[in-house]
Amino acid sequence: MDLGIRGKTALVCAASKGLGKGCALALARDGANLVITARGKEALEATAEEIRKASGVEVTAVAGDITTPEGRASALKAAGQVDILVNNAGGPPPGDFRNWSREDWVKALDANMLTPIELIKAVVDGMIGRKFGRIVNITSGAVKMPIPELGLSNGARTGLHGFIAGLSRQVAQHNVTINNLLPGPFDTDRLRGNMEFNAKKLGKTAAELAKQRAEANPSKRFGNIEEFGAACAFLASVHAGYITGQNLLMDGGAFPGTF
């Protein structure tokens, strides 16, 4: 299926690795030109080159912290017109809420709620004017099924979801859609880091715990970034214009509810 995004410009945040990279790769395969960001320049440049070779699209790599005003400004400047925005940033660290200060909370809110809102604010009126826009927020399955040690993530991301639920209905008439992708366990550096944290607490190795967690998932495995990217590209496509304000959970069936 042709997604109808050839020649469009996609800004994919936090995309040198993991889920953001999966989204960037999928959008590029369908012909979208990219601006990708991450803090580490070396990995970002390597990913940009990998995507150029795989797809032939234009890929601009902008190194910077997307959770800062400077990081956002340089990404937006490099992109110019943004037709597709994929919001993403690293997740907050795990821990016990008794140890989190106000500063820790502000940092989590900045990264996982206010940064996506700032970026949406910067691009949405241009999208409305051009009568096309697709915004996909990478959040977490934790907004449906909270993860005890990731309280900062549970809290900050749920705030974003509440905001998106309202805004998405205000811009739909202009063919601008905003949807959330909620990853369950995907095999990325982030997942491996969380495994290390939990394995230590349980007196297991990270490999043992990963095997156990994968087996406990109805799909008997973790997700991969290609399947995550494919879902993102569909939501960014011309075909998804009647899907907005939705939360697509991708967790291999782990959430046990009917809805």
Which positions lie near ligand NAP, rule CB under 6 A?
Answer: 14-20, 37-40, 43, 65-67, 88-91, 138, 140-141, 183, 185-186, 188-191
Could you give the residue ranges of the DSSP H alpha helices within 80-112? 102-109
67's tokens: 């959770």
Written as one string, the DSSP assignment of 193-238 is HHHHHHHHHHTS-HHHHHHHHHHHSTTSS-B-HHHHHHHHHHHTSG
In the complex with ligand NAP, the residue whose CB is nearer, 128 or 199, is 199
Whole-number Å distance between alpha carbons of 45 and 41: 6
C-alpha of 88 from chain center: 4
The Cα angle at residue 140 between residues 201 and 9, in degrees rounded to 5: 135
For ligand NAP, the closer CB: 5 or 138: 138
In contact, 143 and 113? CB cutoff 8 Å: no
Q: How far is the CB of 14 from ligand NAP (least distance, A)?
A: 3
Return the number of the residue (190 or 204) whose C-beta is nearest ligand NAP.
190
Q: What is the smallest separation between the CB atom of 58 and ligand NAP, expressed in angstroms?
A: 20
> Is the separation of the CB atoms in 170 and 128 below 8 Å?
no
Phi-psi region of 254 (alpha: psi -120 to 50; beta: other; left: phi over 0): alpha
Here the tokens at position 248 are 């697509």
**By C-beta, is 149 or 241 nearer to ligand NAP?**
149
Identify the helix (H) or strand (E) that includes residue 161: helix 151-171
Choice between 90 and 176, CB closer to ligand NAP = 90
Closer to ligand NAP by CB, 52 or 190: give it. 190
Using DSSP, state whether 134 is helix, strand or coil.
Answer: strand
Smallest distance, Å, CB 129 to ligand NAP?
28
Q: How far is the CB of 30 from ligand NAP (least distance, A)?
A: 20
The 8-class DSSP code of residue 5 comes to -
